[in-house]
Amino acid sequence: MKTKKFEELHALLVSNDDNHLNRGYRILFESLRNKMIGHFIKKFRLNEESAQDLTHESLITIMEKAHTVKEPKAFVGWCWKLTDRKALDYLRKTKREKIEFNTDKFDIEIKQQKNINVGNVDKRICIQKGSERFKEEHPMRHYALELFAQGFTHAEIAPRLDKTPGATKEFISQCRKIIDTFIGHCKEIK
């Protein structure tokens, strides 16, 4: 949809005439629905159901708040900025829910030992205690490694961490190095 078409659409959406409003709503849905769904899927790597939900929320918000845009030429940018904000809010919300779910699910009260006597514990317990300390001190890194261990790709993990896929790959690499400082000494146990 060209900028001029957006200006015309804006004029319809801010009109007091019901016929113009209805025509504006129809044009808005017909011209932007599929583009927004594709935008959410490609840019934010959302599944189709989430992309459709966010598209409908975005389109409704555009219809409700079109009158707040004072300059018709700014309407196109305002629409896409609103769309991106909806996606980022959604990703933050789902990230927070996932983290709360994971920490609740694996929250087990275990007494932590900061100095593990390597000679008195077997390898499995050493790794378990080191992993628990890592989780306690680095919950986001633990969460990222947990997702990666479950078979999620860097691209699938990225939105949950609010990072790009490349940054996520680097983050997971750093996580592996850090967890090694917690469990690396366990390799000495036979």
Domain range list for the chain: 3-94, 106-188
**pLDDT at residue 116, as a whole number:** 42
CA atoms lying within 13 Å on the CB side of residue 41: 11
**pLDDT at residue 8, as a whole number:** 86
**pLDDT at residue 105, as a whole number:** 40
**pLDDT at residue 81, as a whole number:** 92
**pLDDT at residue 94, as a whole number:** 76
Residue with tokens 């378990």: 128
**pLDDT at residue 120, as a whole number:** 47
The segments of the chain whose pLDDT lies below 50 read 96-121
**pLDDT at residue 36, as a whole number:** 92
Q: Tell me, which fold does domain 3-94 have in CATH?
A: Rna Polymerase Sigma Factor; Chain: A (1.10.1740)
Longest dimension (CA), the chain: 82
CA dist., res. 68 & res. 142, Å (int): 43
Surface-to-core class of residue 83, CB atoms within 10 Å of its CB (0-12 exposed, 13-18 middle, 19+ buried): buried
The amino acid present at 139, given as its one-letter code, is: P
**pLDDT at residue 3, as a whole number:** 63
8 Å CB contact between 3 and 76? yes
Sign for the pseudo-dihedral over CA of 25, 31, 32, 34: positive
**pLDDT at residue 101, as a whole number:** 41
